[in-house]
Structure 1
Amino acid sequence: MAREDPESRGYPGDPMDLSLEWLPGGVNQCLMTLSTLDAAGAPDSRTMLLSEVTRDGFFFHTDALSNKCAQIAADARVTLTILLAEQGRQLVVQGTAEPADAREVAQAYRDRGPYLQQLAWMNTDEFAALDDASRVTQWAQLATDHTAGFTPPATWTGYVVRPRRLRFWEGAVDTASRRVEYVATDGSWETSFRAG
């Protein structure tokens, strides 16, 4: 495994610089796969939105009553897999999920469109168990009842993932793909290049 200065290969020394380059625009709301560990220690994954990337880390938001929140409470180690298919790129982030602060959580809700704001109210097991006609009717009724907009439900919450390992994969049509890996070590980053 080659240990090299990433800048000699066109990569920054700080992986958050590269994360912000690959995921620009503040509020990103792109799809990612969040992997946690279940009660038996087995991986559990689901696709959801990456809300935002800042120098503080990677943010996502969800219902506090969800399985993922219970799993994070038991073991905060998580992996985020972010596929940027159109760019021929993938970013895998391993780190620790911490509760985001209340202001950030509230702002993330305000930044979501009406559909996702309403989804935060209705994305429950009880609603999922209804027949399709009832689901459509209740969805439409709640939208009608809230024409002025939604406020966050009490169970709306968020997390920031503090990365300890990041792997940036890039494909290529004229040569082999490769990954650059950053691993946190005593306040700095150790970098290596790996086969794709």
Structure 2
Amino acid sequence: MTVSPTLVAAPFFDELVHWLPDNSEPVRPLVALSTITADGYPDTRHVLLSEFDEIGFYFHTDARSRKIAQLTRLPRAAFTVAWPELGRQLVVLGDTEPAPTTEAQRAYGNRSPYLKTLAWLNSPELAALPIDERIEAWRSFDGEHESDSLLPPATWAGILLRPTRVTLWHAHPGTASRRLEYTREAEGTWASNVLPG
């Protein structure tokens, strides 16, 4: 039986806490999320990293999206986020599952008014409209709803990524960069390896 160690017990957790904003911060990191197509190709797009905790990393999207279809078929994903000005890059690979309802609701509540509205209106039908009609539909929705009182739409989907591999890339202006890679082992521990950058 595979044991899923908590991130809190991982040797890199303190560094994650230092690199990533607290979950209460309104500005979220933009990460490049990769899923796998039915043909076996990687499919990458940017999403906001909503939260992370002792279990893993969370992101949220439209339940009708291509990424959700891909994760339903093959629940594995990876993401990367870089801070070039700080000489840092984080790469996470792992297994995915639906996020708990309470987490998804909390994450929606922490979204900006714009992103709350986007969750309701981001549909193929709206995207097909001319720009003036899209603007009017948005204005009309905002006029009828207070963003603070909006609840997540039925299409709001949360995903938990439980990491199996976490890589922290460190640059240094005086020498070559290097990567510290941590791999989850079956007995619930993390193996570490130092790699060239």
Task: Report the TM-score, using the length of structure 1 for normalisation.
Answer: 0.90
Distance, in Å, in 1 between the alignment partners of 2:49 and 2:75 is 17
For residue 29 of structure 2, give the secondary structure of its aligned residue in structure 1: strand
Distance, in Å, in 1 between the alignment partners of 2:173 and 2:46 is 28
The residue aligned with 1:193 is 194
The residue aligned with 1:92 is 91
Residue 80 of structure 1 pairs with residue 76 of structure 2:
no
Shift of 1:18: 2.3
Distance, in Å, in 2 between the alignment partners of 1:169 and 1:183 is 15
2:15 to 8, 13, 18: 18
Task: Report the TM-score, using the length of structure 2 for normalisation.
Answer: 0.89
Residue 40 of structure 1 pairs with residue 39 of structure 2:
yes
Distance, in Å, in 1 between the alignment partners of 2:170 and 2:131 is 42
Shift of 1:82: 1.2
Residue 55 of structure 1 pairs with residue 37 of structure 2:
no
Distance, in Å, in 2 between the alignment partners of 1:25 and 1:53 is 9
Contact in 2 for aligned 1:50/1:59 (Cα 8 Å): yes
Contact in 2 for aligned 1:27/1:53 (Cα 8 Å): no
- Count of residue correspondences: 185
Closer, same or farther: CA 148–57 of 1 in aligned 2, 3 Å: closer
Q: CA RMSD in A?
A: 1.5
Distance, in Å, in 2 between the alignment partners of 1:49 and 1:13 is 23
Shift of 1:157: 1.3
Which ranges of 4 or more aligned residues in structure 1 deviate by more than 4 Å? none
Residue 110 of structure 1 pairs with residue 96 of structure 2:
no
Distance, in Å, in 2 between the alignment partners of 1:151 and 1:62 is 15
The residue aligned with 2:63 is 64
Return 5+ residue gaps in structure 2 as ranges.
1-8
Identity among equivalent positions (%) equals 43
The residue aligned with 2:175 is 175
Closer, same or farther: CA 181–111 of 1 in aligned 2, 3 Å: same
